[in-house]
C-alpha cells in the first residue's frame, strides 16, 4: 500500500481549514469561545499552514487545471449552485478545477459574499 501524499495533503488542508474557522473537523460543530483555537497566535499559525498547503495542493498539474482561464456563464451558474448547496471550498475548487483563491474571488465578484475572507469562513466546514 503506497502513501498517497496528494490525498493526505487535501485531507490535512480540509482539517486545518475547519480548525482555522473555529469548527471541530469531525463533527462540524462550532468550538466554544474559550477554546485554544480562538487565540490569535494559534489562528495565525493555522492560516499560515493553510496557505502553505493550499499553494502545494492547487499548483500546476493538480486539481486547478482551469486556473487562469476565463469564467463562463455555465461555471458561474455551477458556482452559485454549489455555494447555495453548502459545499466546502475545497470541493467547489475540485469540481470547477479552479484554485481556492479564484473561487473566493469569484464569489466576491458575483456579490455572493462581501469579501474573500467571508467566503473562506462560510465555506470552511461545508455548512452555514
Domain ranges of the chain: 5-123
The verdict on pTM exceeding 0.75 is no
pLDDT for 86 equals 84
Q: Is the pLDDT of residue 81 over 80?
A: yes
Average pLDDT over residues 57-83: 76
Condensed to tens digits (0 to 9), the pLDDT of residues 94-110 reads: 888 888 888 998 999 99
Sign of the CA dihedral with 52 first, then 58, 62, and 67 last = negative
- The percentage of the chain sitting over the pLDDT mark of 70, rounded to a whole number, equals 84
Amino acid at each position: 500500500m503506497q502513501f498517497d501524499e496528494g490525498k493526505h495533503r487535501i485531507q490535512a488542508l480540509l482539517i486545518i481549514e475547519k480548525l482555522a474557522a473555529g469548527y471541530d473537523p469531525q463533527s462540524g460543530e462550532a468550538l466554544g469561545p474559550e477554546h485554544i483555537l480562538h487565540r490569535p497566535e494559534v489562528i495565525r499559525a493555522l492560516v499560515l499552514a493553510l496557505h502553505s498547503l493550499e499553494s502545494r495542493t492547487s499548483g500546476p498539474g493538480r486539481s486547478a487545471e482551469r486556473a487562469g482561464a476565463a469564467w463562463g456563464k455555465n461555471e458561474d451558474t455551477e458556482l452559485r449552485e454549489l455555494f447555495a448547496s453548502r459545499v466546502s471550498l475545497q470541493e467547489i475548487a475540485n469540481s470547477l478545477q479552479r484554485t481556492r483563491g479564484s473561487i473566493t474571488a469569484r464569489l466576491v465578484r458575483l456579490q455572493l459574499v462581501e469579501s474573500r475572507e467571508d467566503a473562506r469562513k462560510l465555506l470552511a466546514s461545508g455548512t452555514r
